[in-house]
Amino acid sequence: MTTSSLPSRGSGPGSDFVAVHDPPGPDLANDTPQHNPAPWAAYVSPVAPPLGCKVCGVTPTAPVTIRAHRGLVVIMRWCRADGPFCGFCGIALVREMTTATLRQGWWGVGSLIIGAPVALMSNLLAYRKLRRLQLAVPVPGTVRPRLGKPVLHRPSAYVALIPLTWAVVVITHLVLSAS
Ligand SMILES: [Zn+2]
């Protein structure tokens, strides 16, 4: 909040109001340090207030990073969304980006071994943090993403079974042929 948005004293509809306890505000015209701090200064936390959700602005939030991975045979593509996010927006992003990873994240050796597992593990950790948050009422006028179905209720997530089955067959064949 800026000082210009505050009502000025002695003007406007509440100008006849006399405060019983009128604490002195900061002297904006004089930047010299105050030797006599305000009596309520001890109650003000030195920690900055928590940031609101990057999507909808509400609190509480968690400072999580949500990832999606896409394997393109020889190259890999990463996508990330850095928080803070509230429980609703964060879980919506986790569901969307995890489903995208399960559908597109396996198509390449590097993606199969490193890319997709790292993205999925990262999203699982983010999901566990987000689930602990209390869900807040959205700020009027803000737009939240659609929460959507859970990941395992989305058919496209099961595309992951194709490369995973192939990987299990190949690894089993290698182990059996080596013995
Ligand atoms: Zn949000």
Rounded to the nearest angstrom, the distance between the alpha carbon of 36 and the centre of ligand 1 is: 40
Specify the pLDDT at position 8: 46
Cβ neighbors of 89 (< 8 A, separation 6 or more) are 53, 54, 55, 56, 144, 145
Rounded to the nearest angstrom, the distance between the alpha carbon of 153 and the centre of ligand 1 is: 23
Domains in the chain, number: 1
Provide the β-strand partners of residue 171.
none
**Is residue 15 domain-resident?**
no
Residue-wise pLDDT for 69-125, tens only, equals 988 888 888 899 998 999 999 999 999 999 999 998 888 888 888 888 999 999 999
Cis-peptide into 84, omega within 30 deg: yes
Rounded to the nearest angstrom, the distance between the alpha carbon of 128 and the centre of ligand 1 is: 16
When comparing pLDDT for 43 and 95, which is higher? 95
Percentage above 90 pLDDT, the chain: 28
Confidence of residue 63 (pLDDT cuts 50, 70, 90): very high
Rounded to the nearest angstrom, the distance between the alpha carbon of 106 and the centre of ligand 1 is: 30
**Is residue 24 domain-resident?**
no
**Is residue 23 domain-resident?**
no
**Is residue 136 domain-resident?**
yes
Specify the pLDDT at position 37: 54
**Is residue 20 domain-resident?**
no
**Is residue 142 domain-resident?**
yes
* DSSP codes, 94-153: HHHHHHHHHHHTTSBHHIIIIIHHHHHHHHHHHHHHHHTSPP-PPPTT--PPP--S-GGG
Rounded to the nearest angstrom, the distance between the alpha carbon of 123 and the centre of ligand 1 is: 17
**Is residue 112 domain-resident?**
yes
Given a cut of 50, is residue 6 above it in pLDDT? no
Contact 170, 117 (CB under 8 A): no
Specify the pLDDT at position 35: 53
Q: Residue 18's Cα: distance from chain center in Å? A: 44
Given a cut of 80, is residue 40 above it in pLDDT? no
**Is residue 18 domain-resident?**
no
Q: Which domain holds residue 133?
A: 65-178
Specify the pLDDT at position 164: 81
Listed residues: CB within 5 A of ion ligand 1:
53, 55-56, 86, 89
